[in-house]
Structure formats: C-alpha cells, structure tokens
Amino acid sequence: MSDILQKIVAVKKQEVSVKKQSFPISKLEQSILFDRPINSVTKNLQPTGIIAEFKRRSPSKSVINNSHQVSHIAKSYEDAGVSAMSVLTDTHFFGGSLEDLVFARANTCLPLLRKDFTIDEYQIIEAKAHGADLILLIAAILSPEEIKRFSSVAKNLNLQVLLEVHNLDELQKSPMEAIDLIGVNNRNLKTFDVSTQISKDLAPHIPQHCTKVSESGLSNPMEAVELLDFGYQAFLIGESFMKTDQPGSEAKKYVDQIKNPSR
C-alpha cells in the first residue's frame, strides 16, 4: 500500500468509528433513500460508457475546482449524455461529503457511484442510505476476505460493486463472485504518473462477467476509443471535466467525440 493510501485509510478508520457511534446503522436504514430502486450502472453504459466524476480536489493535484455546485454539475452531466456519475464523498483528502451524493441524487436520474475508501461494512449501508447505486472497493487497501465480505454485503443491498485494481497481482488476488465492474486505475500510486498501458495490459485477465472500466488520466477522447478495442465499456473521468469552467459542456464534447471518432 502506498504512503498516501496508508494515510487515507488511517483517517478513514477514525472517521468511521466516530460515525458509527453518532449515527448508527438503525438510523441509516430509516433514510427515505434506503429503499429506492437501484439504477443499474451496467445496464446504462451505452452509448459512451462515460462515468463523469464530481471532484473538488485530490492529494496529487490539490484544488481542482471549488467553485461548482454538485447539483448543477449533476444536471449538466446528465444533459451531456454521460452514462453515470461518480461523487467523491471523502472530506479530508478530496473535499467531498455525503451531502454531495444526496444533492446529486436529487438532481439527476443517472446511476451514482459513491467513490470513497471503503474499509467497513458501515460505509456500504451509508452509501445506500444516501442514494448510491454503486460502491467502490479498492483492492490495494483490502484483503481478499474483505473484498468478498464487502461485495456480498453490497449485493444483499442490491448495490452494484466496482472493484479498483492497479496491477495484475491485485486483480488475481481478488474474489470476483459478487463484483460487477473492474476498474483499472491508470495512475501509478508511487509516482502518480498515468498511462493507459496498464488498462491494455490487464484487459485479457479481467473475468468475462465483469464490465471493464478504465480510470484516471483519460484526457483525450481518442484514448477511450482505443480502449474500446481492448474490451473496455466504461471510462471514469473526473479531472478533465472538473478543471474547466463548464464541466458539463466539456463532458458533452467528450461524449460527441466518442460517438463520432472520425470527426
């Protein structure tokens, strides 16, 4: 595990411990969003497979954009024709919150990914209670037993599961029975360099029943078009949109170019 992931996990454990005391699972299950029907991400990927992200900042890039309201961005992403939306809910390192997820849910019918660092079953129930359709599990911070247990909890809640991997070892160690999507992170966690080559290298090793997702560093639509030939059906893109004044308009350009790559 990289130094930055170790720091994030340490903070996350403290946060979750406090939350479990102040807002128990019994209260989460009373949320008006808890029993809403889940909007399947995998059934909504056509025609472009873009999962557009709302992200204010990151440890590697510091502030990306603090001026946009998530409610506006959610609507603009939907209008742009993306397939789903990812919402960063980590506060300490990414400037997000669960309130962002709720506001996104109130302003779009898109499937929503709660993007956070899941280290406890509590967070999965929390995601359901705040309007998520899909949760993220990161292989780099979880044991095979945790991946199996957490994905099973998600399935019991009818949530879909995106498992993020950075290399072949993480992919091969992970139980896949309850995984819906495999996200290959193109960012090297040691150097923070990005390259889609890792997505290409891991493509043939991803189980057939899992939807292939390429994540990070996809600033050029032609990179996504190229990855279609490697079996990728979805592309998680955040910074390329969020660093602009009009993330929705930028997403629309991306959508149009993937639909019509010869233009």
* CATH number of the domain residue 210 falls in: 3.20.20.70
Of 122, 118, 129, 100, give the one whose Cα is nearest residue 36.
129
The type of residue at 54 is F
The type of residue at 190 is K
User: What is the distance, to the nearest Å, from the Cα of residue 110 to the centroid of all Cα atoms in its chain?
Assistant: 13
Name the domain count of the chain: 1
Q: What is the per-residue pLDDT for 263?
A: 54
Structure tokens at 216: 């990070």
Q: What is the per-residue pLDDT for 9?
A: 96
C-alpha to C-alpha distance for 248 and 79, rounded to whole angstroms:
8
C-alpha to C-alpha distance for 23 and 129, rounded to whole angstroms:
12
pTM over 0.75: yes
Strand partners, 70: none
Domain that holds residue 12: 3-259
Rounded to a whole number of angstroms, the CA Rg of the chain reads 17
Q: What are the pLDDT tens digits along the chain (263 aa)?
A: 778 899 999 999 999 999 999 999 999 999 999 999 999 999 999 888 999 999 998 877 677 877 789 999 999 999 999 999 999 999 999 999 999 999 999 999 999 999 999 999 999 999 999 999 999 999 999 999 999 999 999 999 999 999 999 999 999 999 999 999 999 999 877 777 889 999 999 999 999 999 999 999 898 899 999 999 999 999 999 889 999 999 999 999 999 999 888 65
Q: What is the per-residue pLDDT for 219?
A: 85
C-alpha to C-alpha distance for 1 and 63, rounded to whole angstroms:
24
Q: What is the per-residue pLDDT for 239?
A: 87
